[in-house]
Amino acid sequence: MSVRDLHRKPFDDGTTDKLDLYRGYLRAWLPTFIHSPQSVNTIQVIDFFAGPGKDVDGNLGSPLITCEEVRLALTNARTGKPPVINLVFNEYMPDKYQELVRCLEGIRPELPEATFHHSQMDFHVAFAQWLPLMQRPKTANLLFLDQNGVKQVTEDIFQTMASLPRTDFLFFLSSATANRFKDDPSIRASLPLRDEDFVHINGTNVHRRLTEAYYRWVPDGKRFFIAPFSIRKGANVYGLVFCSPHPRGMDKFLQLAWKQGGDANFDIDDDRIDPSAPFFPEFAEFEKPTKVKMFENALERAIKNRELKTNKAVYEFALRHGVLAEHARDALKRMVRDGLLPKQTFHVSYGAWEKVAAEPIRFC
Ligand SMILES: C[S@@+](CC[C@H](N)C(=O)[O-])C[C@H]1O[C@@H](n2cnc3c(N)ncnc32)[C@H](O)[C@@H]1O
């Protein structure tokens, strides 16, 4: 199985979309912790598969994107002492590592507030080395695992990351590879898939389905959120998996993903909705993405079965279905219009979730 080296050519559109999403999430995540030194004294961005820093045309790779976003967040930060900022970059190929070090030396003077760490290790060695520092209670981590292929984020690694305090992580999956080599034991051993999953998997939905399967690896009883973002390149679909133990992290990621179409950079459900066309409310039902319709059906079932009894439960349910709080509010309002729920006001948002008391849904 050959591994594509994305640094030999200019980044393609798929890689650019992946890096844009990474940049967007950093931009949303950094201010949360730069502004709250009372709960967090250290923030760490750890790029375990960093690459050389740029592509052959000088387009920025993830390490330099990280540096740019940290610079921006510090510039926009309110006055006051920022937390310790550790920026960690690991790349094991010698030539790429040398290039990476050169790039970081160039940008380091612009970020005197941050401490730079770079290493040339196998991912698993770097992970083990940083683990005690990722586990410190007043540290917030954003981990980026832009692996080649599918094999590095094993069950053990996933569960360790999912158990870390204040840690969000994003990893790349070459999902088409997982589908194509589904009978290869070494591929299957590194993925949460079961034989029966392949009945529903096709070349288009493979990344979405594969991402859902990671819920099987979440430690028992842990509140956790996972969302896919599928990226198509020619006939192949791959993508990012976003993971967070906190609704705020998932909310921010989904806001970003919905600005780019929901959970894919292509029309994954063949909805043929043109986002640039004028919006006519009378056609809203026809213009609704399949993903939102599926969520509305699931929500209606869960409400009818009394499985969701509060505004907070509805909010978490929406995040687990990869839709926004506003999708949940719209769906509840429609249930009122259809006479399935009595008239009431629904506070479904991150702000409402943060409040101590949950508000009950009134069923009659
Ligand atoms: C997809 S690229 C990362 C691209 C990078 N995020 C960027 O924006 O340029 C994956 C990188 O991981 C490196 N790599 C592959 N296997 C690795 C391993 N086991 N440990 C550490 N690095 C590895 C590769 O040399 C390659 O540069």
What tens digit of pLDDT does each residue of 139-193 get? 999 999 999 999 999 999 999 999 999 999 999 999 999 889 989 999 999 999 9
Domain 13-259 carries which CATH code?
3.40.50
Q: Cα–Cα distance between 245 and 225 in angstroms, integer?
A: 6
Bridge partners (DSSP) listed for residue 54: 60
Rounded to the nearest angstrom, the distance between the alpha carbon of 45 and the centre of ligand 1 is: 16
What tens digit of pLDDT does each residue of 63-83 get? 999 999 999 999 998 767 889
Coil, strand, or helix at residue 29? helix
Ligand 1: which of 17, 91, 238 to mutate, judged by most atoms within 8 Å of the beta carbon?
91
- 15 touches ligand 1 (CB under 6 Å): no
- 91 touches ligand 1 (CB under 6 Å): yes
User: What long-range pairs does 285-289 form, CB within 8 A, spacing at least 24?
Assistant: 289/262
> What number of other Cβ atoms are within 10 A of residue 237's Cβ?
27
Per-residue three-class SS string for 233-284: ECCEEEEEEEEECCHHHHHHHHHHHHHCCCCECCCCCCCCCCCCCCCCHHHC
Where do the structural domains in the chain lie, given as residue ranges? 13-259, 281-354
- 61 touches ligand 1 (CB under 6 Å): yes
Q: How many CA atoms lie within 13 A of 121 on its CB side?
A: 16
Which region among 114-118, 258-262, 267-271, 277-281 has the lowest average model confidence (pLDDT)?
277-281
Q: What is the pLDDT of residue 280?
A: 55
Rounded to the nearest angstrom, the distance between the alpha carbon of 364 and the centre of ligand 1 is: 56
Rounded to the nearest angstrom, the distance between the alpha carbon of 47 and the centre of ligand 1 is: 9
What tens digit of pLDDT does each residue of 318-341 get? 999 999 999 999 999 999 999 999
Nearest atom of ligand 1 to the alpha carbon of 123: 20
Q: What is the pLDDT of residue 46?
A: 98
Q: What is the pLDDT of residue 81?
A: 82
What tens digit of pLDDT does each residue of 240-249 get? 999 999 999 9
**Does residue 342 or residue 276 have the better pLDDT?**
342
Calculate the CA 161 to chain-centre distance: 13
Mean pLDDT of 3-7: 74
- Is beta strand 225-233 parallel, antiparallel or unpaired with respect to 139-145? unpaired
Rounded to the nearest angstrom, the distance between the alpha carbon of 300 and the centre of ligand 1 is: 43
Q: What is the pLDDT of residue 267?
A: 85
Nearest atom of ligand 1 to the alpha carbon of 144: 6
Rounded to the nearest angstrom, the distance between the alpha carbon of 145 and the centre of ligand 1 is: 8
Q: Say if residue 95 is exposed, middle or buried (CB neighbours under 10 Å; 0-12, 13-18, 19+).
A: exposed
Nearest atom of ligand 1 to the alpha carbon of 60: 8
- 62 touches ligand 1 (CB under 6 Å): yes
Rounded to the nearest angstrom, the distance between the alpha carbon of 163 and the centre of ligand 1 is: 24
Rounded to the nearest angstrom, the distance between the alpha carbon of 49 and the centre of ligand 1 is: 4
Q: Which amino acid is at 346?
A: F
- 239 touches ligand 1 (CB under 6 Å): no
- pTM of the predicted protein model: 0.95
Q: Residue 282: pLDDT above 60? A: no
Coil, strand, or helix at residue 107? helix
Q: Residue 273: pLDDT above 60? A: yes
- 92 touches ligand 1 (CB under 6 Å): yes
Q: Which amino acid is at 154?
A: T
